[in-house]
Amino acid sequence: MGRKLDPARKEKRGPGRKARKQRGAEVELARFLPPGKSGLSRPGGSAAEKHALKAAGQPPRGRSGFSDDNSKLLAPAKAKKIPSKGNNVELSSDGEVEEGSWEMEEEDGSSDEMVDDYGASSSEEEESLCASVLALDDSLIVFLPAEPPDLHIIHQRIKGNMEVLQDFVVKREEGRTRQEYLALLRRDMAAYYSYSDFLLTKLMDIFALPELINFLEANEVPRPVTIRTNTLKTRRRDLAQALINRGVNLDPLGKWSKTGLVIYDSSVPIGATPEYLAGHYMLQGASSLLPVMALAPQENERILDMCCAPGGKTSYIAQLMKNTGMILANDSNAERLRSVVGNLHRLGVTNAVVSNCDGRQFPKVLGGFDRVLLDAPCSGTGVISKDPAVKTNKDEKDILRCAHLQKELILSAIDSVNAASETGGYIVYCTCSIMVEENEWVVDYALKKRNVRLVPTGLDFGKEGFTRFKDRRFHPSLKSTRRFYPHTHNMDGFFVAKFKKFSNAIPQPSYLGLFSQAASPAEAMQVLLTAPFSLVSDEEPAVKAATPSAVPDTVREPQTKKRKLEGSKVDKEQKPPQPALKKRRSLQAQRRPLKAGRPSPKMMRPQAPTRKKNRVKLNGQ
């Protein structure tokens, strides 16, 4: 048990540093509050209150107050800095000044300067300096933060630079290049919209400058709240009427969706209505409906949702299949599967099986699916309005790390599909990112590594995917992929691609195939330098035809077995007639046993006769 505290008992304050700090507070409080209301003592008055009034230069109770003419006498006492022996100020372990280092000298109205707890003067001459620098001691200076930049000036400069860049030849300043204008514009946009320089450079490579401004502005505004009607339990018309009766202002999402509703405002929480708890609808973004519509699941099919959490797409697939067939909802994060199970139970889904497995190893666990949906984990550059931290916490390593994981997952998804399926054999790949490294680059990689081809997604809107980006060249069929942007379609940034698998066989890599499928000259050179010799097959005449031209005409190498198999006309003319060689070798083979009686050392070896027999047989063929 600790010591009992008696509130009525007042401890006498000593001359330590805490007493001085409390004294400073009393002085400041007494200057602003009228006597008797400072809360420092009981109503009857005390020595502490009288001492505070005396330090503030005010008379005790009963005396007449001061007039404006002698207002200078209201200034507090001045503190003199008296160094200790050796003219050094001693600091305690917690950074406070040791007792005895400072002494207060009370003077009634003898100074015009106000002194704080650290002994710094606040006269008019030093106020401008203290705005940026606070001097605590002769050897200690603390720099206060600078003033924030004027966003209005930066915004006007962005507009001016945009106008100059749109008509650069006419409006540019003399001696300034386009790169200087672009660098200034990128720096201003990074400061105005709070983006990292890396991400803003990536966005400038994807969008034109006017479209980039629209994209950045759209990310500052949240996307509208949308819900998806669960047709397993109700119809969209009945759900809309029930929500309108509860004070919800809504509209149909669009002509492209038969189940979506957009919520403008509501007097009740959308995630806690009786209709929501009964499973009549699901809170889901508009862009999340697109991959399931592209997948187009049919009844009585076996479908895999490789990255299913939190279960919105899985429940939409079950709704389109009318709870028939089988859906395998998989996710590698066991914690996120709890929300999947809860949503499936609430929405009345009965044809789903939930699993916790690494998607990269899934073909080893189970395969033979009719369709696979892969909503791959990504950097999230399409949902910046939901997660503004993406503006600054993503770099090149994060993008490449996500792209590597997506390549592994898409190959695993393709291997899990049965190409011989009567109704399926389709794979839908989607991300909530707009980076080319995570979208077109991954799709082009899958086209090279597996027997798949791109097919139309079935979505009537959206922008076409890139077939060329900077120095990279992708497959022409990437035009059938779709991109969605917040500033164009008023939904989160999204990418959707649909594959059709036409063979279950995995193609083996070849040297010529790697060279011809290189996306850039640098990549082709990398293939030439790093491809192993085992990848070079005999079925590549285009690559081998270049080897003889590099050899000078004066140097003649002996004919190899590969040159004989090629059977070119030039080689046939240079070779001696084959029948004459066969006759000579056969005659020599017949004469050797009939020579001298003494056998040679070669004839005494047991392997010699077998070699001659084999040679005779080869010549006789």
335: pLDDT strictly greater than 60:
yes
DSSP at 300? T
Average the pLDDT over each of 47-51, 177-181, 238-242, 442-446 and give the range with the smallest value: 47-51
Q: Is 312 annotated as a binding residue?
A: yes
What integer pLDDT is reported at residue 424 of this predicted model?
A: 86
For residue 38, give the nearest of 50, 46, 26, 47 by alpha carbon: 26
Q: Is 188 annotated as a binding residue?
A: no
d(CA 326, CA 296): 15
Q: Is 309 annotated as a binding residue?
A: yes
- Crossing angle of helices 337-347/312-321, nearest 10°? 30
Q: What is the mean pLDDT of residues 437-463?
A: 94
Catalytic residues: 432
Q: Is 307 annotated as a binding residue?
A: yes
Q: Is 310 annotated as a binding residue?
A: yes
d(CA 408, CA 413): 9
What is the SS3 string spanning 447-481?
A: HHHCCEEEECCCCCCCEECCCEECCEECCHHHHHC
- Paired residues of 473 in beta bridges: 468
554: pLDDT strictly greater than 50:
no
What integer pLDDT is reported at residue 57 of this predicted model?
A: 57
98: pLDDT strictly greater than 50:
no
Average the pLDDT over each of 66-70, 297-301, 401-405, 465-469 and give the range with the smallest value: 66-70
Q: Is 108 annotated as a binding residue?
A: no
- Find the radius of gyration of the CA atoms of the chain: 42
Q: Is 308 annotated as a binding residue?
A: yes
Place of tokens 């070119």: 568
Q: Is 589 annotated as a binding residue?
A: no
- The answer to whether residues 402 and 495 touch, using CB atoms and an 8 Å cutoff, is no
Q: Is 358 annotated as a binding residue?
A: yes
- Paired residues of 373 in beta bridges: 305, 428
**pTM summary value:** 0.63
Enumerate residues 6+ apart whose C-beta is below 8 A from 200: 186, 189, 190
43: pLDDT strictly greater than 60:
no
Average the pLDDT over each of 385-394, 448-457, 611-620 and give the range with the smallest value: 611-620
- Is it true that the peptide bond before 310 is cis, omega within 30 degrees of 0? yes
Q: Who wins on pLDDT, 604 or 399?
A: 399
560: pLDDT strictly greater than 90:
no
